[in-house]
Amino acid sequence: MAERGQYFHNVFSKSDANRFDLDLYKKGDPAKKSPPFDKPGEVDVFCSIHARMSCIILVLENPYFAKTDGRGRYTITNVPPGHYTLVAWQERLPNDTKEIIVPETGKPLRCRFYARHQESAQDTNPAWRSLGTNQS
Ligand SMILES: [Cu+2]
């Protein structure tokens, strides 16, 4: 039985973007290595000691991102004018994308995503839900 606070972890990822292995380290005693996170992409992170420990880290190309609130709304501010691909990401759904043009000046853009749960693909009454729309 482990002494309280003496748990070990071994955090690693085999994802194409940002593959790493932090080797064994103790809780409260930080790992000697740190993940590079230098390539954009989705990084699936696991612990070889604890099967239930996992997370997904998104390494993004720029600071223009937002997390939706409880009602599925989001706002991305201070985006320079230009042509962009806006991507909606949710771990259990395929990505959805929209091409947008941020004008030099003008009203905020509104961009709404809809997605269907993969589990309900065979459902005769598919549940559609909003992944988000920007606020203004
Ligand atoms: Cu662990």
pLDDT tens digit string along 15-52? 998 999 999 999 888 889 999 899 999 999 999 999 99
**What pLDDT is attached to residue 6?**
65
Q: Which residues are found with C-beta within 5 Å of the ion, ligand 1?
A: 9, 47, 49-50, 53
Which of 31, 59, 87 terminates a domain? The answer is: 59
Q: Is residue 82 part of a domain?
A: yes
Residues 55 and 90 reside in one and the same domain: no
Amino acid letter at 47? C
Q: Is residue 2 part of a domain?
A: no
Cα of 94 vs centre of ligand 1, distance in Å, is 28
How many other C-beta atoms lie within 10 A of the C-beta of residue 99?
A: 8
Residues 40 and 85 reside in one and the same domain: no
Residues 45 and 94 reside in one and the same domain: no
Cα of 36 vs centre of ligand 1, distance in Å, is 19
**What pLDDT is attached to residue 10?**
95
Residues 77 and 118 reside in one and the same domain: yes
Q: In the chain, what percentage of residues exceed pLDDT 90?
A: 62
Residues 94 and 49 reside in one and the same domain: no
Domain that holds residue 123: 73-134
**What pLDDT is attached to residue 17?**
83
Residues 86 and 121 reside in one and the same domain: yes
- Residue 66 in this model has a pLDDT that exceeds 90: yes
DSSP reduced 3-state for 127? coil
Residues 82 and 114 reside in one and the same domain: yes
Nearest to 61 by CA among 42, 74, 35: 42
Q: Is residue 1 part of a domain?
A: no
Cα of 115 vs centre of ligand 1, distance in Å, is 33
Q: Please list the helix, strand and coil fractions of the chain in percent, rounded to the nearest 5, in that order.
A: 5, 40, 55
Cα of 27 vs centre of ligand 1, distance in Å, is 9
**What pLDDT is attached to residue 101?**
94
Position 116 confidence tier, pLDDT thresholds 50, 70, 90: low
Cα of 2 vs centre of ligand 1, distance in Å, is 13
Cα of 52 vs centre of ligand 1, distance in Å, is 8
**What pLDDT is attached to residue 5?**
52
The reported pTM is: 0.71
**What pLDDT is attached to residue 107?**
83
Residues 87 and 45 reside in one and the same domain: no
